[in-house]
Chains A and B, each alone.
Chain A
Amino acid sequence: MSATGLAAAGLSKPRWRNRSILPGFGLSLGFTVFYLSAVVLIPIAALVIRPWSIGLGGFWHVVTDHRVLAALKLSFGGSAIAALINTVTGPIVAWVLVRYRFPGRRLLDALIDLPFALPTAVAGIALSTLYSPQGWLGEPLAHLGLKLAFTQGGVIIALTFIGLPFVVRTLEPVLADLSREPEEAAATLGATRFQTMRRVVLPSIAPALVTGTTLAFARAIGEYGSVIFIAGNLPGISEIAPLLIVIKLEQFDYAGAAAIGVVMLAASFILILALNLLQNWTRPYR
């Protein structure tokens, strides 16, 4: 960057920023940092500090309690399964939306964002009714001997619902930008369409697929509203970690709630870090 070069040469005084003729730097950055600190950073600091009031032993005691462990296992395991389901369905949906032209495609495309737009509580009661033994889908499934509502299966359904747009929306622009020439070359060299898909298309969308899956996974871990209605919330069986935080708060066990919160926050941070590394690896500059 040439501007950085100028700064290094001492032409601009404050080292940490480069001079610009545009006004408002102090005001906009000042307000940004103030608002960010007040609304986000300081409250998060309050969470990170809190559990240690019960000491490391107390923290460990809360986190390794079998009910908490079961909830964490369900939140992480269920999120992983849901993300994997979307890793299969997401690319198919994205492929159809990008490559095929058919009536109603725009509607289908707009609907993908429904889980982003629909309030989670609404999704929650809708899914729970839909998959209940009397529901449109629950009844036929019950005849097949499949009970999903009020079990761990219900948790996975809700987490799949909220994760789908992350995978589809991450893949769509990548698929749209994909040059068709390598596919043509593969076909010319005698590859079948399936071979082309597997050896040419799939590798080029793989980073985006991993990113989308990670985003869906990250969102699912913390998901609350769409899950609690369909989960049944049996202690140790179909209780998710965020629900346990709510339960601990209702018992005024702030430190316990904060301890679970810190574990989830740590998981979020690790996932953000992984995503940043992934994006630096796949995207040159944005």
Chain B
Amino acid sequence: MKRWRSPTSDHPLTSIALALIAVGVVAIFLVLPLATVFAEALRKGLDVAWAAIDEPDARAAIRLTLLTATIAVPLNAVFGISASWAIAKFDFRGKQLLTTLIDLPFSISPVVSGLIYVLIFGLQGWFGQTLRDWDVKVIFALPGIVLATMFVTFPFVARELIPLMIDQGRDEEEAATSLGASGWQTFLRVTLPNIKWGLLYGVLLCNARAMGEFGAVSVVSGHIRGLTNTMPLHVEVLYNDYQFVGAFAVASILALLAIVTLVLKSVLEWRFADEIAAVHQH
């Protein structure tokens, strides 16, 4: 006897076939590359992998990556809050254009993002000679790395907060202001509690990209071992040196960071879906 099936559900065989295709695509395209990172790192045992991480150049790379993220992420978070406050709480001309411009860095190749700073601060760049006279290094030094990282992670916090704050409207802030709260009080006591999970979500994604950025940083860094190599650049140097275990060992730290980011992101989306309403917009 034929079993009744809802007209909007697929034939069981179709369902199984589609589910298998989906799982297969994810397994081949996403899981296998991730598994490769850890398998290659542990190919010669945990000791060898650890030795590649606990080594001066690797440690310098980890420190530089942490330092870069520590500068770039808070700056972009402050920018994100400021931009979303201006855009969500006020009406002014050119708002649409401003929103589009904020998203701009996402559409630009990472290599081009690095290139623009070389054109300004590089030896043959706009300020190249001046900087050289003053003995200030931007390109092939920390400032360039931070600037390139700031550029590629620029929109993350803003693009989470803008739709969220537009959704939440202005009523609560207007009420607080009419009751005599100052601007900062209104922001700290009314707005911030409303946006905190969305803010955290944006900061999380911003940080993951800041620590993992390769193309833009690669252009401005100069790849000086132990000095201007961030973790992703150190991975490249080791890999091109045929030190595969070392490359994958450092890469596995970055892969772990990605996994932690995904777990936290899923938790935030699951627990606070309403409070980070912007999440479905990638």
Contact = CB atoms under 8 A, between A and B. Distances in A.
Nearest to B215: A224
B151 A43 contact: yes
A23 interface: yes
Contacts of A16: 92-94
Contacts of B218: 224-225, 246
Interface string A236-274: 000000110110010010100110010011001101100
Interface residues of A, number: 104
The main secondary structure of chain A at its interface with chain B is helix
Interface residues of B, number: 107
Interface string A104-123: 00101111111111111111
A251 to B, nearest CB: 12
A251 B233 CA distance: 20
A39 B147 contact: yes
Nearest to A268: B107
Interface stretch (B12-20, B49-57, B129-137, B194-202): B12-20
Contacts of A106: 266, 270
B108 to A, nearest CB: 6
B110 to A, nearest CB: 5
A119 B10 contact: no
A229 interface: yes
B118 A119 contact: no
Contact of A22 (B93, B174, B215): B174
A39 B83 CA distance: 14
13 contacts: A16-B93, A17-B93, A29-B86, A39-B150, A46-B116, A129-B244, A223-B109, A224-B215, A225-B232, A246-B111, A272-B103, A272-B107, A286-B163
Given A36-B98, A137-B32, 5 more contacts: A17-B90, A22-B177, A44-B104, A116-B282, A246-B111
